[in-house]
């Protein structure tokens, strides 16, 4: 259960980033992380992975972790080593892990000619879409290593729950018109 609680502050990322996207705030930061560069003729990450997203997703997670660290019922349920690191360090590592954890999958999708925000209508495309919902769990696992070691079963459980919750959020977003695709 500790592993699932570790991921709660990740919700702060889209809470901060969502309004920035919807209102197109900070347009000067709407530059791709890959700078438009290519690898073997294809974009490295694509246009949807921007500095604005990286900054505001990370900031939202840091803010959420800092605020949640003030709530004893949540904070004391986390592993002791995370508590010892403090809300700021935990939030920063969690935020970096979330942002960095999405990049390998974006790189893979560009190699497979899957456009940013699109999906393939096949079994493999569906599997890639499901993986896309929880891909950042691996990045979080790696980035949190300096303060906490998540076990393999905890990481698998976190991936399953995070992917399921992410898919439900995407479906709701699709139903209300905030997304162009259900997954």
pLDDT tens per residue across span 51-95: 999 999 999 999 999 999 999 999 999 999 999 999 999 999 999
- The pTM for the full model equals 0.90
> What pLDDT score does 132 carry?
82
Residue 62 burial (CB count, 10 A): 24
Q: Does residue 25 fall inside a structural domain?
A: yes
Q: Does residue 182 fall inside a structural domain?
A: no
**Contact yes or no for 102/134 (Cβ under 8 A):** no
Beta strands in the chain (DSSP E): 38-39, 42-43
Please identify which residue in the block is written with the tokens 């162009």: 180
> What pLDDT score does 117 carry?
66
Q: Does residue 8 fall inside a structural domain?
A: yes
Query: Based on the structure, what is the number of domains in the chain?
Result: 1
Q: Does residue 162 fall inside a structural domain?
A: yes
Q: Does residue 43 fall inside a structural domain?
A: yes
Residues of the domain holding 50: 2-175
Q: Does residue 183 fall inside a structural domain?
A: no
Residue 141 and residue 134: Cα distance in Å, rounded? 12
Q: Does residue 164 fall inside a structural domain?
A: yes
Residue 153 burial (CB count, 10 A): 9
Q: Does residue 57 fall inside a structural domain?
A: yes
> What pLDDT score does 160 carry?
92
Instruction: Give the whole-number percent of the chain exceeding pLDDT 70.
Output: 95
Ranges of the chain whose pLDDT falls below 50: none
Residue 78 and residue 65: Cα distance in Å, rounded? 11
């Amino acid at each position: 259960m500790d592993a699932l609680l570790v991921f709660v502050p990740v919700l702060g990322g889209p809470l901060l980033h969502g309004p920035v996207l919807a209102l197109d705030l900070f347009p000067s930061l709407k530059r791709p992380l890959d700078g438009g560069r290519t690898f073997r003729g294809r974009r490295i990450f694509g246009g949807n992975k921007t500095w604005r997203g990286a900054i505001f997703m990370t900031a939202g997670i840091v803010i959420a972790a800092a605020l949640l660290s003030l709530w004893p019922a949540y904070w004391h349920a986390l592993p002791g080593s995370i508590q010892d690191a403090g809300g700021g360090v935990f939030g920063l590592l969690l935020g970096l892990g979330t942002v960095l954890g999405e990049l390998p999958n974006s790189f893979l999708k560009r190699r497979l000619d899957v456009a940013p925000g699109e999906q393939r209508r096949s079994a493999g495309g569906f599997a890639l879409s499901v993986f896309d919902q929880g891909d950042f769990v691996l990045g979080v696992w790696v980035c949190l290593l300096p303060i906490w070691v998540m076990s393999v079963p905890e990481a698998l459980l976190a991936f399953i729950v995070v992917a399921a919750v992410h898919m439900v959020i995407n479906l709701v977003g699709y139903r209300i018109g905030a997304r162009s695709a259900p997954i």
